[in-house]
């Protein structure tokens, strides 16, 4: 069975999160981190799930050091097309 992919109704929160992570990547990204940065209000867990799914974050919500096959810049270009 294939992994379920995470869902989010809009891309704005994800774009904000990725833009922020490109500027500065905290040691751990949590819902509280996103709330403090005012990113994706009330949708923080959706953003975290997507970032985990695309391997930007590891299971502990820390920056994934393994090669994921995704690059944040490629993802940003894709999201801008949406």
Listed by start position, the domains of the chain span: 12-81
- Helix (H) or strand (E) segment spanning residue 36: helix 31-36
Q: Is the pLDDT of residue 29 over 70?
A: yes
* pLDDT tens string 6-18: 878 888 898 899 8
Q: What is the pLDDT of residue 69?
A: 60
* pLDDT tens string 55-67: 889 989 999 887 6
Termini Cα distance of the chain: 28
Return the half-sphere exposure (C-beta side, CA atoms, 13 A cut-off) of residue 12: 8
pTM of the model: 0.76
Q: Is the Cβ–Cβ distance between 42 and 35 less than 8 Å?
A: no
Mean pLDDT value across residues 27-55:
92
């Amino acid at each position: 069975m294939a992994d379920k992919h995470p869902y989010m109704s809009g891309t704005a929160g994800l774009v904000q999160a990725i833009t922020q992570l490109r500027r500065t990547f905290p040691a751990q990204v949590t819902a509280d981190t996103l709330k403090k940065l005012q990113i994706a209000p009330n949708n923080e867990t959706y953003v975290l799930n997507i970032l985990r799914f695309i391997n930007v974050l590891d299971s502990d919500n820390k920056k994934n050091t393994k090669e994921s096959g995704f690059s944040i810049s490629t993802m940003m270009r894709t999201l801008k097309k949406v």
